[in-house]
A = this chain, B = another copy of it.
Amino acid sequence: MPFGWGRVSYMWDYRSKWLELPFPVSEYEQRIDKIRKMMEPEKIDCLLVHGNRADRAAVRYLANFEDFYGGDSVVVIPAREAVGMATNAIMHGEPMHSGIQQVWMEDVRCAAHPRTVDKAWTIWDQLEDMLKERGLAEATYGVSGDYADDVVAFIRERFPKAKVKKVTGLLPRAMAIKSRLEVEQIRKACAGADAALTAVMENCKPGVSEYELAGLANEAMFRLGAEETAFPIAMSSGPRAGFKHTAPTDRKLQLGDLVYTDLGCRVGGYYSDCSRNRAVGEPTKEQRHFMEANVLINEACMAAARPGAVIGDIAKIAIEVAKENGYEDYLYFRGHGIGTTTHVPPSFFPGNPAKLEENMVFCFEPMLVKKEFGTGCVEDIYRVTKDGVENLNKCPARWW
């Protein structure tokens, strides 16, 4: 094996001493049970869940593995035999530098990443061993993941008697409905976002730069336990506020600006994604009306949100309120489920016949975007309760 390989052992006996999980192991076992029940009607003997840095949510959800190096990971969920994981997202060829100690599964097999070593076992060699040991050489496999073509090719090549089919919707469906502990974890991510939004809103004063505001926002999130940003912070003021998502610049705020920020963080694998807007100084009548209209849209829509509510019907409410306020042409009706990534079902767009279900957790962000004027968008995170929704954010909506 290559230089430097595995001196800090990644075997369970060693790494279990260092295990730090956001949840008890029973939480993960319940997820595996849930996935296995979903596999039954699909007649799948073993589900292989692929993840990489572009599609990381399911691997974090199932294994608590966070790929911060860049590689391929595959979680193995047989219908009956023991679960496991293989990965080559192994920095410096050194599993314990790569967060492997955070994975609750006992059977984890690491392969060196081709980028930093000259030769090594591959992730496919490791997977082949694992699946053979479980007696699955002739099984029916389901393969999940946006970039899982290589997994399908692996099965076809190494297990020619096995069957394989792609099952793209299964994991997103499972991940859309949250457990009690997941909701609590998202609440922590929301607390980080709330602190960051508050820091930005309170410091929107003439002469303060967008860079400084971004600095304050990120300090607040990491101080409250963020392990990473959710996405690059959006910070726009003045004319650029009408673009919604732009990176901060050295521009200093001026009296009369509209300021818009959209930010979030990841805490224990769970994301927040929230936004606020305000004027620098006293808003003009038009600015106030614009920002108020957005809050009214939010309130009207969320008053109608409950289990069984159709997303397309909620969109109609938003359009109606926007029209009443003269802003129909500037409305984008948007929202998305959130969890171990910023986008899981449900997706909010006009005409969507999908229904809300209890314990879905979603970002709601109907927005008014008027070019060269500003963005009116308050984005909060809601949990669908038994008969309505609960806002998981605490930062005030109105800063005017």
Contact = CB atoms under 8 A, between A and B. Distances in A.
A227 B215 contact: no
28 contacts: A3-B351, A4-B333, A7-B369, A8-B371, A18-B240, A20-B249, A54-B147, A70-B343, A91-B245, A92-B367, A94-B244, A94-B332, A96-B244, A116-B336, A118-B349, A118-B352, A211-B223, A214-B222, A214-B223, A214-B226, A215-B218, A215-B222, A216-B219, A218-B218, A218-B221, A225-B248, A228-B229, A228-B232
Contacts of A221: 215, 218
A87 interface: no
A222 B234 CA distance: 12
Interface stretch (A37-45, A97-105, A156-164, A300-308): A97-105
A31 interface: no
A253 to B, nearest CB: 15
Interface of A: 2-4, 7-8, 18, 20, 52-55, 66, 68, 70, 91-92, 94, 96-99, 101, 115-118, 147, 149, 211-212, 214-229, 231-233, 240, 242-250, 266, 329, 332-334, 336, 343, 347, 349-352, 367, 369, 371
Contact of A369 (B3, B8, B224): B8
A60 to B, nearest CB: 12
A92 B334 contact: yes
